[in-house]
Homo-oligomer: A and B are copies of this chain.
Amino acid sequence: MRIGELAERSGLSRDTIRFYERNGLVRSVPGSSATNNYRDYPEDNLVWLRFITGAREAGLSIADLRDITAAISCDMDRTEARQVLAAKIDELKARADEIRRAIDFLERARDQTAGSAEG
């Protein structure tokens, strides 16, 4: 599909998709037409962009996602790929821990800010 359709269906803007592509997060192939240089974005980009979007919300950087894309696209040998993925998984787990701590802190603070029906 062309970029406009991908944008429409992924909910991202054309510009964001192009930005991701420039940074190695999205892959496309030359389109079939000889009269233009429109690119073709394979269907699986839809699933992929859903992951990317979630991963961005999870706090992974563009650089992180470039590495992950390379690892999953077999741009590197299996050993390296697994190392990259393991490293990002660890990063995410560390972030999850920070979040748990922050939630704890905030819940305690909220509970100390007693309700309006307090004595």
Task: List residues of A whose CB falls within 8 A of some B CB.
Answer: 51, 54-55, 57-60, 68, 71-72, 78-79, 81-82, 85-86, 88-89, 92-96, 98-103, 105-107, 109-110, 113-116, 118
Q: State how many angstroms separate the Cβ of A114 from the closest Cβ of chain B.
A: 7
A99 contacts across to B, CB distance below 8 A: 58-59, 92, 95-96, 99
B92 touches A110 (CB 8 A): no
Residue of B with least CB distance to A114: B78
Query: Which of B81, B93, B95 interacts with A59 by CB under 8 Å?
Result: B95
Q: Which residue of the partner chain B has the closest CB to A86? A: B110
Whether A102 contacts B71 by the Cβ 8 Å rule is: no
The answer on a CB contact under 8 Å between B103 and A89 is yes
